[in-house]
Structure 1
């Protein structure tokens, strides 16, 4: 029997060639509805936030930039007094439930002690202040969210297994009633599915609709999700502690996972990530195995999703793709696209925690074996110049790249797709697999409109 091909990892420059992480943090204000994000940086950070998220002209967002002036940088001003003025103004104007300070590279360079200032101001202000670092010196694009969630875990209430037991039992009973399966006296229902008293918390920022899909699928499997990190409101942060199982939905949350295990004593469920029908099924199956629940109808639903994707699969099958590396979603996306029939030459990634992504890497190996395709080359902190040379030789049909390299690659005749679009699109869960393939196929359709039967698409999309 042929053994699985072991992935090999390379590291080139040691640098993060990636988008600034504060742009990822700026979007969290939409998820935490009663929060206010204050980015402590320069005017450049403020201009960047106004342009990168692109929401300031549409609505008044709940974030702002505490701009550092020349006096701050030369240490002529008192940091605490200046930040105090800003925070009291924020409280007067917006009255948020929590203020989150985002430390940029400026605060790192001038050694601004945000962690020391925050507790003093919090007592004076009467509003919680959470400090998270999101500077581009140390973190890749999506790790900005990771630092915020890791800091937020310390503010979650302590889990009380005795006080929560009755609530869990009621929630589990409701979930089993939704399955319309009568419970037997031995604690199992007619399908042999065992109920459980464990608590599950999911971490990672997803749109409310996608999070609801995950909650519904868990209920279908008789598993109760007790909360999400982040929650929609600060007061609804989930209880954490011994006896709580946690599972991530994004591959860039390794710092949060480590904090949950080491600081809050939670048990991490190491699962692939719910991107694509294959990843979603593996994610649910892993959670079910930990909770001693037999999965129900997952294979049938996955097959149904693949059947619904046939119009897109005809486009991508046999096409080649190259990931330059920007948002830390590369391994999961590559695995899903290989399952769709694509050839992945190289997976560039700014940083990867091999322990946190161990289950995803194993699924990548299994997918390559199933599709009879070689393992892609995995390069951490890739050298962009060398990548361009490799692309020139390999001539991939598509390159997933940061915005800085899109136009130069297009000029060389290589179709591109911005990696940032996958970060802000709804790509999680089986139901959103079409959205991933829609993003991937747009550049391919742009030059090959004739290969797609537009009438066969259930969702007409003509935007390129």
Structure 2
């Protein structure tokens, strides 16, 4: 695929391309980093080889002093040859976990190795669960996924199948009519839960529960016909499970990232519940005014997404609304149905801003992307950690995409955090140029 800047400007509809590049992304077992902190009464047991253990040690080792509620069950050579009893070893480990930590739920995270040697985690879990008296949930968050954020998707999809169901029959034996509730899915910090809940409460809508909740014992009960809505673009598997297995109704909307996305998210939910949204436009306008100091720096700048965490389309839409140009949106995987609301808002935003629609490239080939970056000369490239330093060495400003995953980016107030992340490399460039250092990239 060959993309020239001139052809982008003349585009009047979103162009979807698909390449066959390798996936340069973290392993999905990294989802343990934020899920074990979110579900405070849980314990995560990752079952894999020493390679998986080294990854967790390096990626999550900074949290070791906080006594994290996760551990690694390493499979030795004997395990891979099927010489050991999987059930007895997992029973020993889980008995120890129950004694030391007494969690309300234990998650087994199966890795690539458990797939290869065909460990029957789903078969072992129910029997061991009955013996220990602790719920055990199996999620295979392995390298077969497209992006590391899909690890959360796998875990939440497994959770969605385990929720209890409230009986639709009253105490006197008659069938009762239940009013559909609203359940939000996606792991976000408690402060974001509070903010988004208050935004909806302003218009008379109460969130009945979050998936996941702060504690496993507080997870919401799901009924058929309940409404569910996601806050993250990478949760398509969870959305499918909630619709097909639990018969819930999915509210398809843009995601609450940036003032424009947050407004659209609230509007869509309110429209489903037939609630008017007076003052919502003013709420969005106020949020944009608070960002003006960043917008002055970003207007007219260009950005290129190499693709890493599946947040690319939402971020690109927000950046275009900020006055930036987006040359290309690389994305490891795209579910057009789940991200349908986001894609529609992207088209609308480009039309309102009078700018071209960026090309969306699924499974991008990084070698081809580097050639396009060389031709387009973007002011900023958002990429995975593996490519950041090589790009910087070639005089290209970068920002790690993983930083958006671990930052608070949802809601009106947190839009500031997003712009802070991308402003820093652009401000660094300006500062060095003001000093007259033409080869400043050799100094960073």
Which runs of 5 or more residues in structure 1 are unaligned? 165-195, 453-463
Counterpart of 1:273 in structure 2 is 255
Contact conserved, 1:320 with 1:398, CA < 8 A, in 2?
Answer: yes
Counterpart of 2:305 in structure 1 is 323
Contact conserved, 1:321 with 1:342, CA < 8 A, in 2?
Answer: yes
The number of residues matched between the two structures is 419
Which runs of 5 or more residues in structure 2 are unaligned? 1-10, 172-177, 435-443
CA distance in 1, matches of 2:432, 2:279: 37
1:442 to 424, 437, 444: 424
Counterpart of 1:6 in structure 2 is 13
SS of 1:225's partner is coil
Counterpart of 1:112 in structure 2 is 119
5 Å-filtered alignment, 1:159-238, equals 159-160=166-167, 197-238=179-220
Q: Check 1:67–1:131 CA distance in 2 against 1; reply closer, same or farther (3 A cut).
A: same
CA distance in 2, matches of 1:278, 1:29: 31
SS of 2:357's partner is coil
SS of 1:430's partner is coil
Q: Check 1:260–1:13 CA distance in 2 against 1; reply closer, same or farther (3 A cut).
A: same
SS of 2:323's partner is coil
SS of 1:284's partner is helix
Say yes or no: does 1:84 pair with 2:91: yes
CA distance in 2, matches of 1:257, 1:112: 27
Say yes or no: does 1:142 pair with 2:136: no
Deviations 1:78-116 (A, max 9, x none): 111111111111111101000000011111111111111
Q: Check 1:208–1:5 CA distance in 2 against 1; reply closer, same or farther (3 A cut).
A: same
Q: Shift of the alpha carbon at 1:14?
A: 5.7
Deviations 1:212-265 (A, max 9, x none): 001111110100100000011111111112131000000000000000000000
Say yes or no: does 1:361 pair with 2:337: no
Q: Check 1:450–1:299 CA distance in 2 against 1; reply closer, same or farther (3 A cut).
A: farther
Deviations 1:279-329 (A, max 9, x none): 000000000000000012110011011111111001111111000000000
- The structure 1 segments of at least 4 consecutive aligned residues displaced by more than 6 Å after TM superposition are none
Contact conserved, 2:28 with 2:145, CA < 8 A, in 1?
Answer: no
Counterpart of 2:53 in structure 1 is 46
Give the root-mean-square deviation of aligned CA atoms: 1.8
SS of 2:62's partner is coil
CA distance in 1, matches of 2:59, 2:370: 25
For normalisation by structure 1, the TM-score amounts to 0.88
Q: Shift of the alpha carbon at 1:25?
A: 2.8
Deviations 1:383-412 (A, max 9, x none): 111111110111111000000000110111
CA distance in 2, matches of 1:147, 1:400: 25
Deviations 1:3-55 (A, max 9, x none): x9331211111643211111123320011000000000112212211221343
Contact conserved, 1:221 with 1:293, CA < 8 A, in 2?
Answer: yes
Q: Shift of the alpha carbon at 1:161?
A: 5.6
Contact conserved, 1:323 with 1:399, CA < 8 A, in 2?
Answer: yes
For normalisation by structure 2, the TM-score amounts to 0.91
Q: Check 1:221–1:450 CA distance in 2 against 1; reply closer, same or farther (3 A cut).
A: farther
